Amino acid sequence: MFNEPVKTPAEAEQVLKDHLPDDTIIKEVLKQKGETVYNKLSEKFSKSYPLEDKGGFSIVYKRNEENKIFAVTLTIGHKKTE
């Protein structure tokens, strides 16, 4: 949960930057079930979780009725195209 809802994924990334490895990059962006999935990579993450999709994780931003981002779901491993 964010302390205050934010408007864009870029703003959410700024809030998350202190909580994710500093070498995190976006591998791909997918649309699934009306949500945008950001599959990300981090070499530092892969050293901590070497068996989990080669350092990959997925982020989905949760939006409220005002279309503002209020929370994030982080999943270890990449989501696949459905």
Tell me, what's the pLDDT at 6? 92
pLDDT of 48 over the 90 cut: no
pLDDT of 53 over the 80 cut: no
Tell me, what's the pLDDT at 52? 56
Q: What is the pLDDT averaged over residues 16-45?
A: 89
Q: Is 14 helix (H, G, I), strand (E, B) or coil?
A: helix
Render 12-63 in DSSP notation, one character per residue. Answer: HHHHHTTTS-TT-EEEEEEEETTEEEEEEE-HHHHHHSTTSTTTEEEEEEEE
Mean pLDDT, the chain, as a whole number?
A: 85
Q: Is 6 helix (H, G, I), strand (E, B) or coil?
A: strand
Residue that wins the pLDDT comparison between 64 and 48? 64
